[in-house]
Structure 1
Amino acid sequence: MCTVDRIKNLAKEHHISVYELEEQLGFGKNTIYQWTKRTPSVERVKKVADYFDVSLDYLMGRSANEKINTNKIDLAETQQGILSFEGKVIPDNELELIRKMLRNTQSDTSEDH
């Protein structure tokens, strides 16, 4: 999905038109639609990202996650084989063991309360 399509979807979710968005951000008419033919400035894309509270990576199609990276990683949602510890990749079997241990710890603490 291209940047313009993502912006159109976000605008729809927020119940505004792309034209209204352009007006609110101080862009000229059809500015965003022109981005299908030419590359927008980073500052303009940043304005759109800030307006919708999404990441630049999401708008530019580099990430499917629209939320801004907060440096938090949910181990339960992380794909296997991409985590490391002290520079070494955690093997899949050890990663699954860690997940199981954490789940057991969480269930133990919830039973105490």
Structure 2
Amino acid sequence: MSVLNRIREISKDRGLTLKEVARKAGIGENSIYKWKTTSPSTKSLEKVAKALGVTVEDLMSDSDDKQTPEYRAIQRKAKELSPVNQKKLLDMIETIFGDLDKGDD
């Protein structure tokens, strides 16, 4: 998936137009559209990633997986946690899945 398509997808998930993303990122709207045929600068990617609340890696991802907005929100929040809290979150998730496997609600 191209960078432009990833930006479109993430923007849509956040209810933003590309024009709004460009404004938040402080770059020209046409700059984003040019990325269909040219590669963006690292600086521009960083600005767009910040405006969307994602990492540059998220924008560069070649993944065509259709992850739900909720799943991506969980990923973003987990990345913001300290390693200790990430471990706590993982323990909670494993507990929940263990309960689901047992048929507990």
Question: Could you say which TM-score interval applies, normalised by the shorter chain?
Answer: 0.5 to 0.7
Structure 2: gaps of 5 or more residues? 66-71, 100-105
**1:17 matched to 2:4:** no
In the TM superposition, 1:66-81 aligns within 5 A as 67=76, 69=79, 72=86, 74=90
In the TM superposition, 1:48-67 aligns within 5 A as 48-61=48-61, 67=76
* Higher relative contact order (CA closer than 8 Å, sequence separation 6+): 2
TM-score (norm 2): 0.57
Structure 1: gaps of 5 or more residues? 78-98, 108-113
Match of 1:27 in 2: 27
2: CA distance, partners of 1:17 / 1:24: 11
Paired residues in the alignment total 81
Q: Could you tell me how far 1:61 is from its partner in structure 2?
A: 1.4
Equivalent residue letter for 1:23: R
1: CA distance, partners of 2:48 / 2:31: 12
2: CA distance, partners of 1:54 / 1:26: 16
Is the 8 Å Cα contact of residues 25 and 50 (structure 2) preserved in structure 1? no
Larger radius of gyration: 1
2: CA distance, partners of 1:59 / 1:29: 17
- Is the helix fraction higher in 1 or 2? 2
2: CA distance, partners of 1:57 / 1:11: 16
CA RMSD of aligned residues (A): 3.2
1: CA distance, partners of 2:51 / 2:45: 10
Equivalent residue letter for 1:42: T
